[in-house]
């Protein structure tokens, strides 16, 4: 009889633990989902191309243009236009370049290779970041935020190729997605910067 009672107690304990574990997992998922829903562009911290951490809270009150870039793409000459935009409107918009190798293996180099290429060929002085993934299973959380309407409020478009652009206003709100074919000096981008 004692053995039988011990077995029942063990089974009851195991079932209770399992239910508690499932409840804890549900709570953890809800908490994680809530945290993701509340995250803003200013909550991110990423390493720049030199490995230094950049806290995005420093961009509060500034307009941002985020661009996934690559060195061996048909759109690579847009680096020149991004640099021109930086030179002409850098007081009004911060350009952030994110090297990514997601499209046709067109950014195979190391951060040092990328930095050297951008400097030597286009004189890039705008902020460049550590190479990241901008789509797929390993998509960086920043690009998850940019391309998930549950996180950013409206947009589900992820980069379709290199040199897609996301415009963030001075309040940290994602305002516009631009496809690769839209030049950085496009009038619509200039108007958003000036508005």
Which strands sit side by side in the sheet containing 127-128, from one edge to the other? Answer: 127-128, 93-99, 63-69, 165-168, 174-178
Give DSSP secondary structure letters for 131-195: ----SSTT--HHHHHHT-HHHHSS--PPPSSTT-EEEE-TTS-EEEEE-TTS-TT-HHHHHHHH-
DSSP 87: H
CA atoms within 13 A on the CB side of 87: 10
Out of 15, 73, 118, 164, the active site residue is: 73
Q: 132 and 159 in contact (C-beta within 8 Å)?
A: no
Which of 64, 82, 67 lies closest to 178, judged by CA? Answer: 67
73 given a catalytic annotation: yes
Query: Which residues does the annotation mark as catalytic?
Result: 73
């Amino acid at each position: 009889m004692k053995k039988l009672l011990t077995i029942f107690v063990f089974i009851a304990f195991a079932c209770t633990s399992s239910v508690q574990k499932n409840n804890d997992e549900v709570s953890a998922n809800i908490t994680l989902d809530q945290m993701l829903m509340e995250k803003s562009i200013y909550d991110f911290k990423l390493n720049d191309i030199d490995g230094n951490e950049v806290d995005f809270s420093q961009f509060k009150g500034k307009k941002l243009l985020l661009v996934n870039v690559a060195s061996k793409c048909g759109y690579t000459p847009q680096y020149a236009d991004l640099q021109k935009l930086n030179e002409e409107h850098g007081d009004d918009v911060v350009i952030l370049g994110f090297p990514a190798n997601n499209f046709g293996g067109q950014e195979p180099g190391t951060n040092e290779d990328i930095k050297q290429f951008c400097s030597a060929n286009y004189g890039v002085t705008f902020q460049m970041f550590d190479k990241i993934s901008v789509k797929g299973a390993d998509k960086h959380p920043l690009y998850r935020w940019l391309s998930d309407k549950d996180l950013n409020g409206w947009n589900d478009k992820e980069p379709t190729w290199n040199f897609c652009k996301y415009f963030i206003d001075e309040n940290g709100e994602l305002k516009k997605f631009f496809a690769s074919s839209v030049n950085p000096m496009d009038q619509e981008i200039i108007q958003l910067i000036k508005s």
